[in-house]
């Protein structure tokens, strides 16, 4: 058994250096973490072992006078000053090199904007789109999480900010996390790995793919544990195709609206089954008169929804707090029409509307 372990290089890699991470700089982070851990183990065992040896060897014995302690030893004092100093300097140099690799992004990166809010991540692509797919993992909570597609073998830089409290962007596979603050920007970069034909984290897809979980590592409120997303690495040609048309032109606006409801974070605060949540339910919202704590009652129509999404603090629904962030610049007019169509489909007072209107017939994404 022991001989088999000694001959297994993979075992020693896992024990001393962990499995290889999925970002360019993750190996440096692994070496620093495990190197410091094993160095600490060596020092701890050495010091405690030496102490136990001295306690036993030089213990007090009956009839034998105690030895006189040495008053000074120049060699020993220089040794225990110089050697730890050298070790600390080497640790600093190695740590700084690993930190610089994590902070300084290379040229030619794919630049994406990321917004964090209670309790969702929202990434905006250069074409103005966000996530167009979500999933409900069985092993996690009750809410669906968005899926963000990223091309393989590509450096990616995120410019991040928070709309409410402090969050922390954390992808465990990348070994690095970065706090996301309100009223300021922070950045995060990573190099996606080249895909192999055997990479099939999602076997339902017809092309190779790898998926990495994104979490919030800073407690931010009630649904902190469900503030998650998936970063899906896809072939370059698949990413290019998706960028040209994020949604299938044959999809109805109601279908697209139901997807945006999940991927834009609306699901975190608004139910669609009438149940109470942080925000008012969307079930039977459109066409009904609602009361506000700071304004007169209003029957919900397209303009009321538009105002609530782009300027949520103007009118505050009675019984709810003013805590919804603005989606100005993050939901374009075409996406807004899809969300309105979805809200209409949930109401019995929506009246006659064309539920079959397709996404392709409502203009281009980002319009």
Which range, 79-88, 217-226, 269-278, is most confident?
Answer: 79-88
Asked if pLDDT for residue 249 goes beyond 90, the answer is no
Tokens, residue 181: 């603050």
Q: Region 81-107: what's the mean pLDDT?
A: 88
Query: How confident is the model at residue 141, as a pLDDT?
Result: 55
- Closest alpha carbon to 163 in 2, 362, 26, 325: 325
State the average pLDDT over residues 273-289.
Answer: 88
Task: Look at residue 140 and tell me whether its pLDDT is greater than 90.
Answer: no
* Residue from 207, 184, 187 nearest 197 by CA: 207
Closest Cα partner for 121 from 63, 177, 168, 84? 168
What pLDDT is attached to residue 15? 60
Structure-model confidence comparison of residues 365 and 85, the more confident one: 85
pLDDT value for 266: 87
181-231 residue pLDDT tens? 999 999 999 888 899 999 999 999 999 999 999 999 999 888 888 899 999
CA–CA separation, 139 vs 226, rounded Å? 11
Query: CA 66, CA 59: separation in Å to the nearest integer?
Result: 9
More confident residue, 287 or 128: 287
Region 110-126: mean pLDDT is 91
pLDDT at site 24: 61
pLDDT at residue 6, as a whole number: 45
Q: What is the pLDDT of residues 302-349, one digit of tens each?
A: 999 999 999 988 888 888 888 888 888 778 888 888 899 999 888 887
Checking if the pLDDT of 16 tops 80, the result is no
Q: Specify the pLDDT at position 324.
A: 85
pLDDT-based confidence at 40, cuts 50/70/90?
very high
Lowest-confidence pick of 96-100, 110-114, 153-157, 164-168: 96-100
Structure tokens given for 160: 């991040």
Beta carbons within 8 Å of 115's beta carbon, 6+ residues apart: 121, 122, 124, 160, 161, 162, 163, 330
Mean pLDDT of 284-297: 88
Mean pLDDT confidence for 146-172:
93
CA dist 162 and 218 (Å) reads 12
pLDDT digits (tens, 9 = 90+) for 325-337: 888 877 888 888 8
The per-residue pLDDT of the chain, averaged, comes to: 84
* Ranges of CATH 1.10.760.10 domains, the chain: 253-362
Strand partners, 147: 133, 230
> What's the pLDDT score for residue 14?
60
Which of 214-218, 243-247, 270-274, 278-282: highest mean pLDDT?
A: 214-218
Residue 182 DSSP symbol:
B
User: Is 0.85 surpassed by the pTM of this model?
Assistant: no
CATH of the domain spanning 253-362, picked from 3.40.1280.10, 3.40.50.1000, 1.10.760.10, 2.60.40.420: 1.10.760.10
Question: How many whole angstroms separate alpha carbon 109 and alpha carbon 188?
Answer: 11
Q: Does the pLDDT at position 364 exceed 70?
A: no
Band the pLDDT of 165: cuts 50, 70, 90: very high
Start-end of CATH 2.60.40.420 domains in the chain:
110-244
Q: Is 90 exceeded by the pLDDT of residue 150? A: yes
CATH architecture of the domain with range 110-244: Sandwich (2.60)
């Amino acid at each position: 058994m022991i001989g088999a372990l000694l001959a297994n290089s993979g075992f020693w890699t896992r024990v001393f250096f962990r499995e290889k991470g999925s970002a360019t700089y993750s190996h440096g982070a692994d070496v620093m973490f495990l190197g410091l851990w094993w160095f600490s183990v060596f020092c701890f065992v050495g010091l405690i072992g030496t102490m136990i040896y001295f306690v036993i060897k030089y213990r007090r014995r009956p009839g034998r006078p105690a030895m006189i302690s040495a008053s000074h030893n120049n060699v020993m004092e220089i040794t225990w000053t110089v050697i730890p100093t050298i070790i600390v300097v080497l640790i600093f140099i190695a740590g700084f090199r690993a930190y610089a690799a994590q902070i300084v992004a290379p040229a030619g990166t794919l630049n994406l904007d990321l917004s964090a809010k209670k309790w969702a991540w929202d990434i905006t692509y250069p074409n103005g789109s966000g996530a167009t797919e979500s999933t409900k993992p069985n092993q996690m909570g009750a809410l669906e999480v968005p899926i963000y597609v990223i091309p393989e073998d590509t450096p990616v830089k995120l410019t991040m900010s928070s709309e409410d409290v402090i969050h922390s962007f954390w992808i465990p596979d990348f070994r690095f996390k970065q706090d996301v603050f309100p009223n300021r920007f922070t950045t995060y970069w990573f190099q996606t790995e080249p895909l192999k034909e055997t990479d099939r984290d999602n076997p339902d897809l017809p092309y190779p793919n790898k998926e990495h979980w994104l979490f919030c590592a800073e407690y931010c409120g009630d649904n902190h544990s469900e503030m998650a997303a998936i970063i899906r690495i896809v072939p370059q040609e698949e990413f290019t195709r998706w960028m040209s048309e994020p949604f299938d032109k044959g999809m109805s606006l109601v279908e697209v609206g139901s997807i945006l409801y999940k991927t834009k974070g609306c699901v975190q605060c608004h139910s669609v089954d009438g149940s109470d949540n942080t925000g008012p339910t969307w079930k039977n919202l459109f066409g009904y008169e609602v009361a506000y704590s700071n304004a007169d009652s209003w029957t919900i129509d397209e303009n009321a929804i538009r105002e609530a999404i782009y300027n949520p603090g103007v009118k505050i629904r009675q019984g709810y707090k003013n805590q919804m962030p603005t989606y100005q610049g993050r939901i374009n007019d075409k996406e807004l029409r899809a969300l309105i169509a979805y809200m209409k489909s949930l109401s019995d007072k929506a009246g006659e509307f064309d539920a079959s209107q397709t996404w392709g017939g409502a203009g281009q994404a980002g319009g």
